Amino acid sequence: MISKTKYEASPAELDRIFERAKLGKVLSAKSLGEGEFNAAYRVETEQGRYVLKIAPPKESTILTYERDMMHSEVVWYEQIRKHTTVRVPEIYFVDESCELVPSHYFIMEYLMGAPLWAMNFSEEERALADREKIRMAGEIHTIRSSRFGYIQCGLKDSWYDAVRGMVSALLADCARFGKQSEYGERLLEAIDRHQELLKAVEGTMVNFDLWDSNIFCERTEDGLQFSWIDPERSFYGDPIADWIVCGKGPEQPLSEMGEYFDYYESVSGIRLTGSRDEDIRYAVALGYLALIMETERYNRYVPGDEGWERNTVDSAQKFEQALKIL
């Protein structure tokens, strides 16, 4: 599948990028093709191995919340390194001038290992990896905020105001693509019905992208070592939103994940009880994820693409699960 947003850098551009960063002469470069949004390269120079990440060019058609997302990603990496023990790559160089390529880019540490989905885990190791995801989420949830939303879109005074704006922006994106989301309109109505509950939410950093592809694992003499990449889609919001990819995953309501709550509290300081109100907050986040997937379908794919079919099925399932609770 051909990406509509990835910038393909030439060898000459790669040379100039690393020359400006003073990180040595480029010896080799390989495109890392797993992601669909940013371009990423593994680059070997005289000084070492690095990852270069390039944002979509300014003229690319992207979703509203994705504008200037790379700038926010650098901020989130700094927050994680400063306030948690979660292992993330070090950022070596950032350039937002658009002088060498028509996009923002940064150069970061190359991490050893493989994404969780590519690891041949034993049952015990898989359980350890799942626990590690909860630890990572719990640690970033210690980064508290009285303001809510995406950094790049402007922060709001409550989670209700932020999530309502986030959903409204996606509905506007759908309209821009000539589509309408009936599910999304119903989600917006549900958010308004539960506004008092959502206004009372205490905000934290939320990653909202802790999938197995973004967590790396390396086998070392001391055991499994985990690290985390790509916090670009993070926002300040309801910490319950990250439980979509923790515990038993989005197929289950939050109230059925109680076996993990004590460990999560020991890391985050946040007590979950599996209450009806918490299930509603979880369902709002699940509905928002479903709307992202639906809107991405209209922008990234065409009918017949694997991504189109995947997002069609997954978004409908998540919408139905969320709206059943709401």
Same domain, 152 and 264: yes
pTM of the model: 0.94
Predicted pLDDT of residue 28: 97
pLDDT in tens, the chain (326 residues): 566 788 999 999 999 999 999 999 999 999 986 667 899 999 999 999 999 999 999 889 999 999 999 999 999 999 999 999 999 999 999 999 999 999 999 999 999 999 999 999 999 999 999 999 999 999 999 999 999 999 999 999 999 999 999 999 999 999 999 999 999 999 999 999 999 999 999 999 999 999 999 999 999 998 999 999 999 999 999 999 999 988 777 778 899 899 999 999 999 999 999 999 999 999 999 999 999 999 999 988 888 888 788 888 899 999 999 999 99
Same domain, 314 and 210: yes
Q: Which domain holds residue 27?
A: 11-109
Distance of CA 69 to the CA centre of its chain: 11
Predicted pLDDT of residue 1: 53
Predicted pLDDT of residue 305: 82
| CB contact at 8 A, 252 and 124 | no
Does residue 277 belong to any structural domain of this protein?
Answer: yes
Does residue 55 belong to any structural domain of this protein?
Answer: yes
Does residue 5 belong to any structural domain of this protein?
Answer: no
Same domain, 149 and 37: no
**Count of structural domains within the chain:** 2
